[in-house]
Amino acid sequence: MKTTKPHARRKFLLAAGIGSAGAVAAAATKGVAVATHEPPQPKQGDGYRLSEHIQKYYKTTEV
């Protein structure tokens, strides 16, 4: 039977036995700030943002 490449890759990863040590690595970093990336924030076209404070002000001007 022909061995497909994804299967060969999976076998390679499993043979290295990284699973159990990896789990410890993950546990070791829990609660520690390692994440340095986040989704990009949408750009404000003119740099103007309707803040909660400004929204409250607008409400006071409504008739």
Q: Is 6 in the site for another protein (CB under 8 A)?
A: yes
Give dist(CA 58, CA 52) in Å, integer: 10
* Count of residues interacting with another protein (CB under 8 A): 33
- The tokens of 7 are what? 């299967």
SS3 string, 12-25, reads: HHHHCCHHHHHHHH
Least Cβ distance, residue 58 to another protein (angstroms): 27
Pick the closer one to another protein by CB: 12 or 58. 12
Per CB under 8 A, residues contacting another protein are: 5-6, 8-10, 12-29, 32-41
